[in-house]
A and B are shown apart, each in its own frame.
Chain A
Amino acid sequence: MLAYVIRRVFVGVAMLLAMSLVTFTLFFASPVDPAQFACGKNCSPVQREQARKALGYDKSTIEQWSSFVKGVAVGRQFPADPELRKAAPENVVDCDAPCFGYSTYSIKTVNEMVGEAMPVTFSIALAAVILWIFFGVLIGVLAAVTKGSFLDRGIVGTSLFLYAFPSFFIGTFLLTYISIKWDLYPLPSYTSIAEGGVGAWASNLLLPAVTLAMLYMAGYVRMTRAFVLESQAEDYVRTARAKGLATRKVLFKHALRAALTPLVTMAGLDFASVLGGAIITESIFNFNGLGKLAVSANTNYDLPVLIGIVLIAGAFVITANIIVDILYAFIDPRVRVG
């Protein structure tokens, strides 16, 4: 098991390296000159080349990538150019390992920016995953046990209907009507637990989390319904009934237990992908999470921040994959022993 995890971690690191290289290559393949962009409209060619040098864009892609990798491994100093560091030692910023770089737009390291945005995204993702798993599984089971009934058809129809709405619609609707026009719920703004306690933190998260959860919940309702129906047709569920177990026990101990296994896998991966930033939801509610950071990094041609976010998001997905695989062994004894 340990050897397996170590192997998976190695593969994961290799994948992250490849991802960063691809991101570098794609960035410089863009027709926009990042040095021109950083320098601004009224910028002479001389100034532009100075900016290019200051930002380190004068080096080849592979050189830039190696110094990035080196920064992640052992840390580095900014500005990257040693001459500039010598010219203005008071401006030198030490960036300790793992250093993801220094923003070309804001006067912060990527680590700082990601560090500020991460708790916001993590909070939204956590609240959303709790909501969508709880309600998704609950409603899905309800649909499965009332299969063919009016309720079941209603649930399936409604979830499909809601699924068809994009999250910018649901988010905007909740914000405009629930919070502003009808004044049913206070306008959410991110409050950390340190600032306002768990209550304020959670209540401010509700609307964004609902918006994000809606996107996934419909899928989970339908998947849970399908998995429960499938496991209810299994021989071992018939055995459980034949033993004389009560219907509820047959459903929860025997049928649902088997149906949960694939749901855990899905939930782990979906949670990881949401951790990479819920761009639309964060933008609508103006929560400064990774998603919003990614959008601004894109519009500002802020390569270091972009790389940082790509790698963080990738690392989440890879880690989640490994965790789900380990979790599987705990859920399914056949994997554990065999």
Chain B
Amino acid sequence: MSTAPTPYLSVQDLKVHFPTADGIVKATDGLSFDLERGKTLGIVGESGSGKSVSSSTILGLHRGSSAIVSGHILLDGVDLLELSNEDMRKMRGRDVSMIFQDPLSAMHPYYTVGNQLIEAYRVHNQVTKKEARTRAIEMLDRVGISNPDKRISDYPHQFSGGMRQRAMIAMGLINDPGLLIADEPTTALDVTVQAQILDLLQDLQREFNSAVMIITHDLGVVAEMADDVLVMYAGRAVEHGPCKEILTHPEMPYTWGLLSSVPDVTGDTDARLVPIPGSPPSLLNPPTGCAFHPRCLHRDKVPGDLCRTELPPLVAGTRGGAHLKRCHLSDPDSIYETEVLPEIAPDLVDDILADSAADSAADNAADNAEGAR
């Protein structure tokens, strides 16, 4: 593990534009990030910030639609955007797979869970139905479904929400893909089930050593799961870096807003929940300059009309390192300390620190185990 890891997934200047009757919708506009195997990237943003579009483009699901895609998506050195439709189809489910937000609608209601898992395995493996069935039962067992040999014949509606999502995860991992994209995997689930599903994902990631992209609007999920965080706004990255760094020293007012709008469930009940004012911009006609400026509480602190007129570049944060931000504010740290931090649920930051400490310990343990092999 001493050699510098080459990124397993490298997204470079990805643009996904949709021509519509009213103009071009820039769903993703110049997105770049790297992700190594065994690592997790959390992509955070409100609905309509382009996070789901970006991930389905990685999977090649934009093909056949009107989307105009440019840039590079290198998976293990292969540019997915250059592949033929047939080659991309073969990658899907085998090298990259995806689990979706609502497992009830994401599974076909007319086929049994087993049928759908077996199908997923047999697309990429020349095996008999019986062998595929054995594999499917094994995967259902692995994701914690009891009596998998019986439940495999059930229909999705006979499963509970959590079990359905487990089955989706089993289906996503049945071919041992190098990259797993989880699009809001816990949003449609009960809070108690959410934690179980996240734990399961983490366990499986260690076991399969896959790269995981987790798309969410829930910073709690990010704090628990992610090594790196990418905050998206209006199709662009506005803050990107190591999870701990971003969550403890965020430098972009949008990230501040996301942190302030996490409810404080353990603290005193008087604490206010501070929502981000306004709503996400239209991607058809995004605001000029920094797309966040109409909703930004701190734009007056930037001299001149810079926020409105000029798009800030994605540059290194004040503390350096891998932390990147897209903001004109010259002294974000002091504003964060004085104005933003008091509004944030205090336990959130503590949790983040505790979780990431635990994670890095676990990662080290996993690395050691890897080295010993």
Contacts and interface: CB of A to CB of B under 8 A. Distances in A.
A334 B105 CA distance: 13
Given A244-B89, A244-B124, A239 B106 contact: yes
Interface string A301-335: 00000000000000000000000000000011110
B105 A235 contact: yes
B215 to A, nearest CB: 14
Interface in A177-218: none
A238 B110 contact: no
Nearest to B107: A236
B155 A244 contact: no
Interface-centre pick from A242, A247, A257, A337 (highest chain B CB count, 10 A): A242
Contact of B119 (A235, A243, A332): A243
15 contacts: A234-B105, A236-B108, A239-B107, A241-B92, A242-B98, A242-B100, A243-B92, A243-B171, A244-B92, A244-B123, A244-B124, A247-B89, A258-B109, A334-B109, A334-B157
Contacts of A244: 89-94, 120, 123-124
Nearest to A239: B106
B70 interface: no
B102 A333 contact: no
B24 interface: no
B108 A254 contact: yes
Interface string B321-356: 000000000000000000000000000000000000
A245 B102 CA distance: 20
Nearest to A237: B108
Interface string B151-173: 00001011000000000100100
Interface in B69-123: 89-94, 97-98, 100, 102, 105-110, 112, 116, 119-120, 123
Contacts of A247: 64, 89
Interface of B: 56, 59, 61, 64, 89-94, 97-98, 100, 102, 105-110, 112, 116, 119-120, 123-124, 155, 157-158, 168, 171
A331 B111 CA distance: 10
B123 A333 contact: no
Given A235-B102, A238-B61, A334 B107 contact: no
B210 to A, nearest CB: 15
A334 B110 CA distance: 8
A45 interface: no
Interface residues of A, number: 22
Contacts of A338: 157
A238 B105 CA distance: 10
A238 B100 contact: yes
B92 A242 contact: yes
A264 interface: no
B97 A257 contact: no
A331 B158 contact: no
A258 B98 CA distance: 22
B93 A246 contact: no
A337 B158 CA distance: 9
Contacts of A39: none
A245 B119 contact: yes
A246 to B, nearest CB: 7
Contacts of B116: 239
**Which 7 A-B pairs give the minimum distances between C-beta atoms?**
A244-B93, A244-B92, A235-B105, A243-B93, A236-B108, A235-B106, A243-B120
B155 A337 contact: yes
Contact of A242 (B97, B119, B124): B97
A63 B215 CA distance: 75
A240 interface: yes
A238 B106 contact: yes
B110 A332 contact: yes
B20 to A, nearest CB: 13
Contacts of B100: 235, 238-239, 242
Nearest to A333: B155
Contacts of B110: 257-258, 331-333
A66 B168 CA distance: 62
Given A241-B92, A243-B123, A244-B123, A258 B157 contact: no
A18 to B, nearest CB: 37
Nearest to B88: A244
Contacts of B168: 239
A24 to B, nearest CB: 46
B153 to A, nearest CB: 11
Nearest to A334: B157
Contacts of B102: 235
A333 B109 contact: yes
B206 to A, nearest CB: 23
B89 A246 contact: yes
Contacts of A236: 105-109
B6 to A, nearest CB: 25
Nearest to A231: B108
A189 to B, nearest CB: 44
Nearest to B158: A337
B264 to A, nearest CB: 33
A244 B96 CA distance: 10
Contacts of A239: 100, 106-108, 116, 168, 171
Given A235-B102, A236-B108, A333-B110, A241 B155 contact: no
Given A244-B93, A247-B89, 13 more contacts: A235-B102, A242-B61, A242-B97, A242-B98, A243-B119, A243-B171, A244-B90, A244-B94, A244-B124, A257-B108, A258-B109, A331-B110, A334-B109
